[in-house]
Structures are given as structure tokens and as C-alpha cells.
Structure 1
Amino acid sequence: MDPEENLQALLEDPNSLDYAFKRLADLDPDRPDLGAAEESDEARIEGGQSWWNRHKDDVRMFVCQSSTIRKKGPLTVVQAIFGTLAHVFGGAIATYATVILIKKQFGSTINDLGKDAIDAWCGEIKPARTTRTPKPSRTKESARKRTSAEKS
């Protein structure tokens, strides 16, 4: 993400999806280099939409299976979505994928995106339940008493 870019501003800008799609096209490592000719904005937008269409089901699974996202409040939800996607796709792609997800799926700003919207969108997809065996409790062992032979 460019330092001047603000996730909230991208979400509020009515043209932010076109911008986000263009940036996805720029960042997509699987997109073939089209040579020296400058690509049109429309072609870049289509390229970003292609990335989104290829990965939107993965994005949904990563988001819906994250227990952090599913349990937290709006701002934390967005931060968790970004963090989850950044872990999988990289930070720059995650920025724009987060913007697209929130605007396209929820038509929402960050502060209006609630847990209920995520739960409804995820439907039957639930976070994985991990069962961990409890660690044995550590008790302080008394220091070994030195014998008179050790003291000398």
C-alpha cells in the first residue's frame, strides 16, 4: 500500500473499485507482462477483475474460517481481514482485495461493517475448531539442597 493511501478513503471514494482493480492487475504475479505497450485503464481494470474472480472463493474461505474475524468488532474485523489476506497474498494485494471485498460484498464503509454482515455472508462456513491438549502445568521445583560435601 502506498503511504499516501488510506483504506477508509479508498472505501469512501465511489471510483475506488476501479482503482483497486487496476492496482490488483499491477500487482498480480500471475498476470503476463504485456510488453512495452502501455496498457489502457480498462484493460488493467479487467485484469484486476480477473484476479478477483479467480481468488474470490479463496478470499471468502480465508475470511470465514478466521476465528479472529468472526469474533471481533468492525474495525478489528477489517484489520483482521487485511491481516489474513496479507498473510496469504501479500500486503499490497491484500489492501485492494480488502477494499473490494468490503465494498463489493457489503456495500459498506469500515465502521458499518459488522459481525452480523460477515456471519450472514459466510453462512455455513465456520472457523475451524482446534482442539489442543492442555500443557502440563509447571510447578516450581524446589531448588536442590546442597549437601555439605558440595558446599566445600
Structure 2
Amino acid sequence: MLALRDTFYARTAGGSYGHDFDTNIAVRCMDSSRPTPEEQTALARKIGKAAPMFDLDVFTAGTHHSECEAWPAAPTRDEPWLADVGDLPETLVLSVTGDPATPHEGGIAMARALGGSLLTVDGKQHGAYLLGGSKCVDDAVNGYLLDLKTPPRGTRCSL
């Protein structure tokens, strides 16, 4: 359990922690609208009905707050984020089928929303480029980053 926690928080052998978790919160707080406590509580109730095993009220006494409620700056954008994408070059979206953090369906939807190319990666991890040891993935992404060349439609790689 400790190893899982340390991995989640990017704890090093020397005992220091990475900044990914804090950075992720900062990005969410600056990029997303902030729900009121009432909206957050309503969302928690909806989640609680779908997944009662989490017992969401046990630590909150039934009142839920956004992690960004006290953030010192206002959000810089509002949803939908993809309102005007006409000037984008063709976009490459990588989506790992068994990613535990970002569902594959979201990658499909993003590629569709951007009018971009989808590279489906068969695997069970979060992140594929330069992380999964897949020459197929690395070559496809390098081709896009260096030459804006997307792989043929329907290309699949695996980790």
C-alpha cells in the first residue's frame, strides 16, 4: 500500500515528492469553472447513488466543496474548451485502451471533436509515448511532432 501511495505522489528514494499532483490541481483550478458547495454536494450525491461503497459522507458530514473553492485566482477559461478549433493543424490523439486515469472513450471523443487522427494503443497504463517501450507509439508520435504527419487511419499499437 505504501508503494502505491509513493508512486501516486511521485515520491523519490530520497523522500522528496514530485510536483505532478500539485500541478494537476493548479491546472484544474485555473481551467475549470468552480462548482458551489451546493453543486458539489449534488454531484457527490449522484456519485454516491452510483457507487455507494465509497460512503462519500463519512469524512464530510454531508457537505462537499470543490478543491478549488479557495483558490486565489479566478479561472481563465470556461467550458466547452473546444469552441473554435478551425485553425488547428491536424491533431494526433493517443488513447490507451486500458488507461486507469483517462478512459479510451474520451480519447475517441477528443479526436472526433478536434477532427483529428486517433492512435489507439492497446495497454493498461497511463501514458504511452516514451513511457511504454513501444517503437510503434514512439515512431508515430515522433513523426507527428517532427513533421506533423499522422499515422494512417485505424493504426493501432500496443504496449
- TM, length-normalised to structure 1: 0.25
Higher relative contact order (CA 8 A, sep 6+): 1
The structure number with the bigger radius of gyration is: 1
